[in-house]
Structure 1
Amino acid sequence: MKLFSSVLQRDEEGGHWLVTPAEMARIEVEDVAFIAVEMQNEGEGKDQNIRFRTNIDQWVELDDDHPLRVEHDPETDEPSPYVGLERGLEARLNRSVFYQLVELAEEISDPDNNMIRIGVYSHGKFFEIGRMEATE
């Protein structure tokens, strides 16, 4: 798996490709090719730094180059969180890692939209996990 991961990349349309010096082959990936299986954090609040370990033992910092993206199932509203990797790839956070991330979450008021943004800081940037309507 580690060998294939070193030649795997994703194009702008979301297609996955194995690319070697000799050839290119498109492969089908149902969701994403990797899973984030561990999380570590240092610091607190805006000074916090978060990093994830993937199932191929790759560590990735949650930062501008490796952002957090959370998709919500349209029927159940269940979240599916992803962290960006190199070459356009992503890793989905497994359930326990996502729960750890949620434990670190902070709320930020967005009065312009009457919303409360819920998320975490890492490397000085706020990464949104979700939002809810503000109540007065």
Structure 2
Amino acid sequence: MSQTPENLVEQVEKSAKNLSQPPLEQWHPELSGDMDLRISRDGEWIHKGKPLGREAIVRLFSSILRREDDGEYYLLTPVEKWRIQVEDTPLLAHSLDVEGSGNKQVVRLTTNVGETLEVGNEHPLEVGSYEDSGQPRPIIRVRHGVDARLTTAAYYDLAKHVVEQMIDGKAVLGVFSHGNFYKIG
């Protein structure tokens, strides 16, 4: 069976009415197959070679996306599980807001699907690097193994809030959010 975005939307809407986030942790269907859906590095969702035209479908799909222990990404419904391709991270964090200062500050990031996340225990920030270039790869955990990569502009905005902390006798650069210190460099 060839799955379409519209069919998945219908299934999710039936099973997750009035829920802000579908209960993916309760859904464990067998693999239905591979869907011809790819999320490009720049955050574009492409189905059968064409961008998904409806923002509402992208927002819904982001809520039913899970990365599993095998490192693969899947769109889930209570009865179907479709593997998709992701070039880097499925979501982007494009704007940053900081409230407060010092270890009392709170860093908020807004994703390309309109979700605002506060950096903290539930949504930790991590700055790794790309293996091929060594360039920074700042990400925030969203949920279910899914991350959002900070865009260059958001990363530069974050850099304005970097402070130095002594950790194990060494100076470390990072930012505070919700009382936690997140290493940047």
State the TM-score, normalizing by the size of structure 1. Answer: 0.88
User: Which has the larger displacement, 54-63 or 13-22?
Assistant: 13-22
Higher RCO (C-alpha 8 Å, min separation 6): 1
Find the counterpart in structure 1 of residue 128 from structure 2.
Answer: 71
Q: Does 1:86 align with 2:156?
A: no
Find the counterpart in structure 2 of residue 24 from structure 1.
Answer: 81
Residue 71 of structure 1: CA displacement?
1.4
Find the counterpart in structure 1 of residue 165 from structure 2.
Answer: 108
- After the TM superposition, list the runs of 4 or more consecutive aligned residues in structure 1 that deviate by more than 4 angstroms: none
**Counterpart amino acid of residue 42 in structure 1:** E
Equivalents in 2 of 1:34, 1:54: separation in Å?
Answer: 7
Count of residue pairs brought into register by the alignment: 128
| 3-state DSSP of counterpart to 2:148 | strand
Deviation readout 1:59-98 (Å, 9 max, x if unpaired): 1110011111111234543211000001111000000100
**Structure 2 matches for 1:1-136, cutoff 5 A?**
1-74=58-131, 76-112=133-169, 115-130=170-185
Equivalents in 2 of 1:74, 1:6: separation in Å?
Answer: 29
- The higher radius of gyration belongs to 2
State the TM-score, normalizing by the size of structure 2. Answer: 0.66
| 3-state DSSP of counterpart to 1:35 | strand
Q: CA RMSD in A?
A: 1.3
